[in-house]
């Protein structure tokens, strides 16, 4: 048996419920931090920024240095995997732009065995980040879940209605399934490499899990996630896996019961009572402050933080947002949040 973990984040993920919840924030590295903006200006484009280990490791460490979170999340992007598979990727003002993949011919043209273009620099970032982290802070690795990565690959970027990817999945589930399988295999290879390089937890971001009906949710969200979890658990039994099926609503329960993840990250709209009654008996939960409250700050922030701690803090729990930090967030509000979370909870 491995030794019991001592880092607060890992303890919550192995079933402990400390009085002060461990915390970190999705997108805790990013444009709301002036030091991030200065660092980002040193790279010509976002992808090369992510693939330059010295810069990416510094971005990973910046928020922990400033605010003392219990974890750093590796600085990278879920779309590095499509790029390593051979899809062209750029980031414009409107977000990511990819050359869309819309049929089996395009899937067959992807490169299956050249992931090292992304794995090698990202693993170097992992090693540099681990070396620079305080001893109580954990390092979280991540990847996009296959469904969410596929939405970007097929739509060619963000989307309002997921028309192309959903139409393909309904019309030709076998052909679309081959794309999902390829992404699933790549994700297992990528996350295994991150773990071998030193990440202590992994999170699977399924940002668009919430746009599928029940049957397709099982097929394209639950099934590939379960395969990733199974394969990682066979190799790395003690590395906790956090799943984030954003927007899944009632289907959070199926996701929790069927994928084998150790924890679920709750989006902002998921009711705390539901999470407490239906999810927390089986797994640790993470979340779910509205990122807009971090932007607003003050009494509204204080009230919401307290409600979340009252609702979820008695069982295995990690404080986080329901989605990423917004670029307009004042860093002082994050400092205020750090202070609130360091205080014992007073219920009156």
Binding residues vs ligand CP3 (CB under 6 A)? 26-31, 40, 46, 73, 75, 77-79, 91, 95-96, 142, 158, 205, 207, 324
* Closest approach of ligand CP3 to the CB of residue 101, in Å: 16
Alpha-carbon distances of 172 from 109, 162, 179, 250, rounded to whole Å: 18, 15, 11, 27
Name the catalytic one among 20, 40, 65, 278. 40
The distance of closest approach from Cβ of residue 305 to ligand CP3 in the complex, given in angstroms and rounded to an integer, is 20
Compute the distance between CA of residue 127 and CA of residue 278 in angstroms, rounded to an integer: 37
CA nearest neighbour of 222 among 234, 237, 212 = 212
Decide if 40 is catalytic.
yes
Of the residues 20, 31, 65, 278, only one is catalytic, namely 31
Q: Which residue lies nearer to ligand CP3 by CB, 44 or 348?
A: 44
The whole-angstrom separation of Cα 315 and Cα 319 is 12
Q: Which is nearer to ligand CP3, 249 or 324 (CB)?
A: 324
Q: Report the residue number, 59 or 239, with the smaller CB distance to ligand CP3.
A: 59
Nearer to ligand CP3, 155 or 315 (CB): 155
**DSSP 8-state secondary structure symbol assigned to residue 266:** P
Kindly state the DSSP code that residue 268 receives in the 8-state scheme: T
Residue with tokens 């030091």: 35
Catalytic annotation on 77?
Answer: yes
Q: What is the separation of C-alpha 301 from the centre of its chain, rounded to a whole number of angstroms? A: 23
Q: Which candidate, 309, 225, 263, places its Cα nearest to that of 12?
A: 263
Helix, strand, or coil (residue 16)? coil
Residues in the chain: 348
Annotate 143-176 with DSSP letters as a single string: EE-HHHHHHHHHHSB--SS-HHHHHHHHH-HHHH
Min dist. Cβ of residue 78 to ligand CP3 (A): 4
CA 139, distance to chain mean position in Å, is 12
**Which one from 27, 65, 254, 282 is the annotated catalytic residue?**
27
Q: In whole angstroms, how close is the CB of 288 to ligand CP3 at the nearest point?
A: 14
**313 or 322, CB closer to ligand CP3?**
322
Catalytic site residue 3?
Answer: no
Who's near 166: CB < 8 A, 6+ residues apart? 211, 212, 216
β-pairing, 89-92 vs 95-98, is: antiparallel
Q: Which residue among 36, 70, 77, 255 is the active-site one?
A: 77
Q: How far is the C-alpha of 200 from the C-alpha of 20, rounded, in Å? A: 21
Instruction: Select 31 or 127, whichever has its Cβ closest to ligand CP3.
Output: 31
Choose between 148 and 189: whose C-beta lies nearer to ligand CP3.
Answer: 148
Smallest separation (angstroms) from ligand CP3 to the CB of 311: 23
Supply the minimum distance, in Å, between the C-beta of residue 174 and ligand CP3. Answer: 26
Would you tell me the crossing angle of helices 146-155 and 163-171 to the nearest 10 degrees? Answer: 110
Smallest distance, ligand CP3 to C-beta of residue 28, A: 5
Contact 149, 183 (CB under 8 A): yes
Catalytic residue among 32, 36, 152, 252: 152
Closest-approach residue to ligand CP3 (CB): 207
Tell me if residue 31 is catalytic.
Answer: yes
Which residues are marked as active site?
27, 31, 40, 77, 152
């Amino acid at each position: 048996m491995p030794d019991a973990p001592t880092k607060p984040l890992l303890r919550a993920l192995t079933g402990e419920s400390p009085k002060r919840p461990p915390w970190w924030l999705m997108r805790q590295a990013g444009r709301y931090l002036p030091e991030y903006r200065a660092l980002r200006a040193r790279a010509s484009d976002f992808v090369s920024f992510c693939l330059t280990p010295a810069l990416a490791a510094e971005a990973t460490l910046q928020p922990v240095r400033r605010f003392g979170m219990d974890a750093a999340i590796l600085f990278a992007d879920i779309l590095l995997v499509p790029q390593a598979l051979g899809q062209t990727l750029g980031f414009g003002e409107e977000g990511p732009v990819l050359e869309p993949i819309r049929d089996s011919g395009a899937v067959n043209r992807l490169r299956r065995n050249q992931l090292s273009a992304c794995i090698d620099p990202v693993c170097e970032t992992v090693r540099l980040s681990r070396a620079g982290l305080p001893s109580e802070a954990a390092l979280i690795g991540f990847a996009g879940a296959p469904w969410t990565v596929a939405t970007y690959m097929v739509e060619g970027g963000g989307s309002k209605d997921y028309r192309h990817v959903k139409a393909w999945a309904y019309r030709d589930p076998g052909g679309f399934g081959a794309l999902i399988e390829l992404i699933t295999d790549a994700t297992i290879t990528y996350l295994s490499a991150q773990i071998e390089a030193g990440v202590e937890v992994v999170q699977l971001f399924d940002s668009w899990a919430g746009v599928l009906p029940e049957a397709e949710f099982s097929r394209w969200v639950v099934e590939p996630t379960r395969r990733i979890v199974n394969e990682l658990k066979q190799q790395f039994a003690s590395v906790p896996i956090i799943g984030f099926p954003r927007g899944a609503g009632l289907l959070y329960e199926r996701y929790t019961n069927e994928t084998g993840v150790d924890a679920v990250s709750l989006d902002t709209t998921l009711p705390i009572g539901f999470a407490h009654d239906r999810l927390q008996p089986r797994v640790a939960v993470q979340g779910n402050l509205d990122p807009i409250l971090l932007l607003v700050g003050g009494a509204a922030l204080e009230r919401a933080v307290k409600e979340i701690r009252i609702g979820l803090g008695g069982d295995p729990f990690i404080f986080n947002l329901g989605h990423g930090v917004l670029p307009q967030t004042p860093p002082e509000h994050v400092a205020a949040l750090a202070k609130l979370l360091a205080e014992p909870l007073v219920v009156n």
